[in-house]
């Protein structure tokens, strides 16, 4: 029982240490993490568009999956809604813009399913967002 | 002939029922993050679940004692009540995640509102479990769950470097361009726990009693636990290969159940897409039934109340109430807006903390020659069983600190 109590205490202490304070500033690490998520979501969006072009997915799947990706993109943008140091503001803005572009592009995926030219444009846009997000996050995956 | 058919069905059911939402999420994500580097964890976990599954089935066949009766007898009422509460919290959380997963699949097929699909999933489960006898529940979900083998086909179709795959069977540290050691450790714990989930043992041993196993059925128990779980382990390895070959090269983190579907569509086209939807539906639906029934089995066995799907619901009213409440609570959690993937990650990590308290009494009893007679653990099983128990304790101690330190494997 003593061992269980100790483990429980350590677990609670670790949880308390991991809690964020509302007074925290946006760090470079936060921007890189958001950029990593954006790059991953953009890559998955491009893959989704490619699969639609090849007629491999159902319509309902596309509607639901693009919404799930949009939701994730919103979460990535939300993690950037903190005050940033002056030297990080430019990066913060770029990360927010990339998330907004990604969400906008995803909104158009389901509507453009029957239009190959629109799908090609979206794929190019997603690849572009991924490249910029990768540059923002730095080398580490 | 009929016993061969019975055996084949048992193995296929064990295989079809092996993978649940936890394995789907952790295995594909593990492949996408670490390539084939975590295949060894699946081998380790599968041997563990086969050993403890066989032990619990053997005890059920010889002594007619299901797992939770063993837990109560070993720990006494007070402590076992703590284990019961913890186990059933994990069962309900897992059930919530599985119902959420089921609703997502229904939504992907019908394109309807998520809350409506949740209600439909819950209704479908309640009716299915209420109406179908135990054997048919096992067979419907187990056999249709075999459509998940589409991931094994996908893994072969992707043409992996088999030498690299074989190297993944040997533990090694992550490569420099992969996430760091804490996240690697988190995925080791998550994968191990998702394979060793305690509800699988509760369900397996209670199922042996539902199926009225006797010592004559011990060879079937050995083969079902050995071959069925081993094939299930291979399926989990296929999911890792799909994650590694589809998502890793594109640097995609497939954190959604809908992304897992994409993993089969990329190599196999529309047929792969359809089979993946069907496979995940039955695998996740089967796991939802198993977790809800396990919650009912645990509570009924602990309080010594009559239980079993082999009886009419009116003959076992409290047992029926317990599993129905588990489904309704799970649906309530899923309806509250909780993300099923996050819920499953919590349930998988918390499950590992409960594991030692479930596995220890089973191991002690199966090791007791006075009680088990000639069916006691063989020396090899004894050594492996205690070795695994040590590993499980280690993993249980590391689980929650890793969950917190890595922000659920994200940092």
A10 within some domain = no
- Residue A121 located in a structural domain: yes
- Which residues on B lie below 8 Å from A34 (Cβ)? none
CB-CB under 8 Å, A58 with B262: no
- Residue B134 pLDDT > 70, yes or no? yes
Task: Kindly report the CATH number assigned to the domain that includes residue A74.
Answer: 1.20.120
Question: Is position A8 within any domain?
Answer: no
Among B178, B270, B411, select the one facing A55 at the smallest CB separation.
B270
Closest among B152, B144, B184, B172 to B29, alpha carbons compared: B184
Q: Contact B265/A58, CB-based, under 8 Å?
A: no
pLDDT in tens, B158-214: 999 999 999 999 998 888 888 889 999 999 999 998 898 888 888 889 988 988 999
The count of C-alpha atoms lying within 13 angstroms of the C-alpha of B214, restricted to the half-sphere facing its C-beta, is: 1
Please compute the mean of the pLDDT values over residues B237-266 and round it to a whole number: 96
In which domain, by residue range, is B170 found?
A: 2-405
Structural domain span for residue A93: 27-137
Q: In 3-state terms, what secondary structure has residue A128? A: helix
Closest chain B residue to A33 measured between Cα atoms?
Answer: B411
Question: In A, which residues are within 8 Å of B104 by CB distance?
Answer: 64
CA distance B251 to B248: 5
What is the rounded CA–CA span in Å between residue B50 and residue B225?
A: 5
Q: What is the pLDDT, as a whole number, of residue B26?
A: 87
Question: Which of B277, B401, B407 has its CB closest to that of A10?
Answer: B401
* Inside any domain, residue A20: no
Any residues with CB less than 8 A from the CB of A93 and at least 6 apart, and which? none
Q: Is residue B166 part of a domain?
A: yes
Is A14 among the domain residues? no
CA distance B54 to B230: 12
* pLDDT of res. B19: 86
Residue keyed to tokens 């959380």 = B93
Given this model, what pLDDT does residue B140 score? 87
Residues in A touching B250 (Cβ below 8 Å): 43-44, 47
Measure CB to CB from residue B111 to each of A60, A69, A141 and give the nearest one. Answer: A60
Residue pair B69/B298 in contact (Cβ under 8 Å)? The answer is: no
Does B282 reside within a domain? yes
Q: B291, B275, B257: which is closest to B137 by C-alpha?
A: B291
The verdict on residue A17 lying in a domain is no
Q: Are the Cβ atoms of B107 and A64 closer than 8 angstroms?
A: yes
A16 occurs within a structural domain: no
- Residue B411 in this model has a pLDDT that exceeds 80: no
Contacts of B109 in chain A (CB under 8 A): 58, 60-61
* B177 touching A (Cβ < 8 Å): yes
CATH code (residue B315): 1.20.1740.10
Q: Which of A21-25, B254-258, B264-268 has the lowest mean pLDDT?
A: A21-25
Predicted pLDDT of residue B17: 63
Chain A with chain B: Cβ pairs closer than 8 A: 85
Tell me whether residue B170 is in a domain.
yes
pLDDT, mean of residues B369-381 = 95
In a domain, residue A58? The reply is: yes
Domain count, chain B: 1
Whether residue B271 lies within 8 A of chain A, CB to CB, comes out as: no
Cβ–Cβ gap B405/A141 under 8 Å = no
Within a domain: B411: no
The tens place of each residue's pLDDT in chain A, 141 residues long, gives 565 566 566 666 655 555 555 667 888 889 999 999 999 999 999 999 999 999 999 999 999 999 999 999 999 898 888 888 888 899 999 999 999 999 999 999 988 888 999 999 999 999 999 999 999 987 544
Q: Is the CB of residue B397 less than 8 Å away from at least one CB of chain A?
A: yes
Helix, strand, coil percentages in chain A from 3-state DSSP, rounded to 5: 75, 0, 20
Q: Which residue of B has its CA nearest to A60?
A: B111
Contacts of A72 in chain B (CB under 8 A): 255-256
Q: What local confidence, expressed as pLDDT, does residue B247 receive?
A: 97
A43/B251 Cβ within 8 A: yes
| A97 min Cα distance to partner chain B (Å) | 20
Contacts of B407 in chain A (CB under 8 A): 18
Determine what percent of chain B is predicted with pLDDT higher than 90: 69
B107 and A60: CB-CB below 8 Å? yes
211-250 in chain B: CB under 8 A from chain A? 250
Measured in angstroms, the CA of B34 and the nearest CA of chain A are apart by 11
Q: Are A15 and B404 in contact (CB under 8 A)?
A: yes
User: How many independent structural domains does chain A possess?
Assistant: 1
Q: Nearest CB to B108: which of A10, A61, A72?
A: A61
ipTM reported for the complex, 2 dp: 0.88
Which residues touch A132 (CB under 8 Å, ≥6 apart)? A94, A98
């Amino acid at each position: 029982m003593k061992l269980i109590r100790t483990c429980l205490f350590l677990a609670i202490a670790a949880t308390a240490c991991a809690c964020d304070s509302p007074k925290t500033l946006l760090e470079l690490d936060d921007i890189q993490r958001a950029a990593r998520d954006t790059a991953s979501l953009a890559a998955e969006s491009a893959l989704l568009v490619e699969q639609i072009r090849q007629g491999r997915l159902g319509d309902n799947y596309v509607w639901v999956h693009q919404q799930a990706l949009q939701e994730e993109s919103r979460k990535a943008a939300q993690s950037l809604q903190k005050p940033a140091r002056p030297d990080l503001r430019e990066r913060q803005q770029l990360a927010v813009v990339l998330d907004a572009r990604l969400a906008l592009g995803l909104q158009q995926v389901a509507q453009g399913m029957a239009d190959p030219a629109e799908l090609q444009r979206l794929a190019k846009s997603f690849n572009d967002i991924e490249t910029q997000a990768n540059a923002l996050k730095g080398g580490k995956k | 002939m009929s016993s061969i058919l019975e055996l084949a069905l048992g193995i296929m059911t064990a295989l079809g029922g092996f993978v649940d939402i936890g394995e789907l999420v952790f295995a594909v994500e593990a492949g996408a993050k670490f390539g084939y580097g975590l295949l060894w964890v699946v081998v380790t976990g599968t041997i563990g679940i086969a050993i403890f599954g066989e032990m619990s089935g053997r005890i059920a066949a010889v002594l007619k004692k299901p797992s939770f009766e063993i837990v109560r007898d070993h720990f006494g009422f007070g402590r076992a009540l703590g284990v019961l509460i913890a186990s059933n919290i994990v069962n309900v959380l897992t059930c919530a995640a599985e119902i959420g997963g089921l609703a997502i699949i229904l939504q992907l097929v019908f394109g309807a509102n998520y809350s409506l699909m949740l209600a439909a999933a819950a209704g479908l489960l309640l009716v299915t479990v209420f109406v179908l006898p135990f054997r048919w529940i096992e067979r419907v979900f187990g056999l249709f769950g075999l459509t998940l083998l589409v991931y094994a086909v996908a893994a072969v179709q992707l043409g992996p470097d088999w030498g690299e795959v074989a190297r993944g069977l040997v533990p090694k540290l992550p490569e420099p361009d992969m996430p760091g050691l804490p996240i690697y450790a988190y995925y080791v714990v998550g994968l191990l726990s998702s394979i060793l989930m305690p509800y699988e043992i509760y369900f397996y041993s209670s199922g042996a009693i539902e199926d009225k196993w006797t010592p004559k059925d011990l060879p079937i128990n050995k083969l079902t636990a050995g071959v069925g779980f081993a094939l299930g382990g291979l399926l989990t390895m296929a999911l890792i290969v799909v994650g590694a070959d589809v998502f890793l090269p594109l640097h995609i983190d497939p954190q959604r159940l809908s992304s897992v579907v994409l993993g089969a569509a990329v190599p196999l086209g529309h047929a792969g897409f359809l089979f993946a939807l069907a496979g995940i539906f039955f695998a996740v639906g089967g796991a939802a039934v198993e977790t809800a029934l396990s919650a009912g089995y645990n509570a009924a066995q602990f309080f010594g109340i009559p239980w079993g799907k082999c009886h009419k619901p009116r003959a076992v009213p409290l047992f029926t109430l317990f599993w129905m409440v588990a489904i309704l609570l799970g649906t309530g959690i899923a309806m509250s807006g909780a993300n099923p993937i996050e819920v499953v990650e919590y349930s998988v990590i918390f499950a590992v903390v409960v594991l030692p308290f479930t596995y220890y009494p089973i191991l002690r009893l199966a090791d007791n020659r006075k009680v088990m007679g000639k069916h006691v653990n063989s020396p090899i099983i004894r050594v492996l069983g205690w070795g695994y128990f040590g590993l499980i304790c280690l993993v249980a101690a590391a689980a929650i600190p890793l969950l917190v330190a890595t922000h659920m494997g994200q940092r």
